[in-house]
Amino acid sequence: MNLASSLYFARPEIILSVAALALLMVAAWRSNASKLISMLSVAALVAAGVWSAHLMFSPSFELGGDAFDGLYRMDAFGSLSKLLIYSAAAISLIIAPRFLSNMGAMRGEYPVLVLFAVVGMGIMVSANDLLTLYIGLELNSLAAYVLASFARHDERSAEAGLKYFVLGALASGILLFGMSLIYGFAGSTDFTAIGKALSGEMGMGALFGVVFVLSGLAFKISAAPFHMWTPDVYEGAPTPVTAFFASAPKVAATALLIRVTITAFGDQTFVWQQIIMVVAIMSILIGAAGAIGQNNLKRLLAYSSINNIGFILIGLAAGTAEGVSAMLVYLAIYVAMTLGGFVCLMQLRNRDGSLREDMSDIAGLSQTRPALAAIFAIFMFSLAGIPPLFGFWGKVVVFNAAVAAGLLPLAVIGIAASVIGAFYYLKVVKVMYFDEAKDIIVVENDRSLIWTGALLAAFVSPLGYLLISPLGQLTDKAASALF
């Protein structure tokens, strides 16, 4: 592969990096242009998305291709993940400026850091080498640490950033340790070469490597038992940042996990399948049980994201193309649901303008703000997986894939646990609709929030079922690129 075609394949990352560098200059000289920079960042994301779509749909790139001497892999799987990441990032950029300026924390560096994080995610999902994986992950994480403590005069935000940084560094260390073991026992950092070297009987050292790599990645997707940081960081970070954390990086890290397990450890399915199954069940149970006692809605959504990651991992445990396709469908729906949940949270303010994020604050929301309550209820029902809503479909495809792969017990446990999870989603709805109104929530006239909320609600509403067949075709195409 020559340099020209490599650069052609990596064009989405190049577009975003150049845009981020240019916007950084704008931010440095024009201190009050943060809104303009946000909109230009969204434009850059759209441009990169158009390029990814071109790489995905153009018939000449049907088979994908390696770039930079096998470090970077361009295929339908990476392109589709990137499209998801870019949309999630664009939405979290659109909803942020007004909210952050109300907090007094909006600065031009916010969209720039988000763009750099997205570049890192793009590198992650296209990684075909342990080094690329690590560099992309660090670029994403480092930007995320800063974003978590972006509202630096807020003590909780600073705490969230510090906590995220320390634990994230620990996870990176674990991941690097595993990577060095794998490199030692496989003799290469290239995923395909590792896959070849690790076929057959696996030695103890390489097994340790696999376990450490999976642990490091499980931390990044906040799967149990590596989820401890999630509630604290999600609660402390400013809400638009939390919305970003819960959507785009989750997609990137999950896609990375899929690629590592399928490509690099593809011949060792039996080894990692058990690990993934345990992690999936633990995430579902801990996510469901942990959320029950939560009073803070952001913490509740954090546990909900742990819970959802568990369901997504069930698809990976299946280890088939069908399972991967189901994971991508679930991810797309999950991103819409979780972003929607946070968009609703961002609209909760009381009369003196301070933000509300506790369970007691939404009591009687259906009387004071019926539209917001209805939209929030749609997201909650969808997260719970109640049939007419789109969230149900995600669970169906994932469980289908698990059953087809002969993992009936796993699917049964998942379905049983989703009933536990439904309890707290329904509790939110109950508090909104059947409790006495205590605090008056004022009408927020931030149109970006209202429109994104409505749009996402339309996506997860039964209207979303119209998208089943195109979405399924896309994810099937993406999944088949890996197998």
Partner 1 sequence: MIQVIAFYLFSSIVIAAAAMVIFSRNPVHSVLWLIVAFFNAAGLMVLVGAEFIAMLLVIVYVGAVAVLFLFVVMMLDIDFAELRAGFMKNLPLGILLAIVLVCELILGLGAYQAGKVELGTPDGKAAITDQVPNIEAMGQLLYTKYVFLFEAAGLILLVAMIGAIVLTHRKTFSQRRQNIGQQVRRRPEESIRNEQPEVGQGVEI
Binding residues vs partner 1 (CB under 8 A): 6, 10, 17, 24, 67-69, 71-72, 107, 109, 112-113, 116, 119-120, 123, 131-132, 135-136, 138-139, 142-143, 145-146, 149-150, 152, 161, 183-188, 190, 193, 197, 203, 205
Nearest Cα to 457, choosing from 375, 387, 394? 375
Shortest distance, position 152 Cβ to partner 1, whole Å = 6
Shortest distance, position 92 Cβ to partner 1, whole Å = 17
Q: Which is nearer to partner 1, 199 or 350 (CB)?
A: 199
Please say whether the beta carbons of 389 and 382 come within 8 A: yes
- The answer for residues whose C-beta is within 8 angstroms of residue 49's C-beta and 6 or more apart is 12, 82, 83, 86, 87, 90
Structure tokens at 361: 């604050």
Q: Which is nearer to partner 1, 141 or 418 (CB)?
A: 141
CB neighbours (10 Å) of residue 343?
Answer: 32
- The answer for residues whose C-beta is within 8 angstroms of residue 119's C-beta and 6 or more apart is 13, 16, 17, 20, 139
Shortest distance, position 45 Cβ to partner 1, whole Å = 17
Nearest Cα to 383, choosing from 430, 327, 416, 336? 336
| Distant-in-sequence contacts of 406-411, Cβ < 8 A, 24+ apart | 407/277, 407/314, 407/317, 407/318, 410/277, 410/280, 410/281, 410/314, 410/317, 411/314
> How many Å is the Cα radius of gyration of the chain?
21
Q: Which is nearer to partner 1, 37 or 333 (CB)?
A: 37
- Interatomic CA distance for residues 349 and 364, integer angstroms: 14
- Alpha carbon 428 to its chain centroid, in Å, reads 23
Q: Which is nearer to partner 1, 124 or 217 (CB)?
A: 124
Shortest distance, position 358 Cβ to partner 1, whole Å = 28
Cis peptide before 470 (omega within 30 of 0): no
Shortest distance, position 351 Cβ to partner 1, whole Å = 31
Shortest distance, position 69 Cβ to partner 1, whole Å = 5
Residue carrying the six token digits 């003196």: 352
Shortest distance, position 68 Cβ to partner 1, whole Å = 4
Q: Which is nearer to partner 1, 119 or 331 (CB)?
A: 119
Q: Which is nearer to partner 1, 206 or 224 (CB)?
A: 206
Q: Which is nearer to partner 1, 162 or 228 (CB)?
A: 162
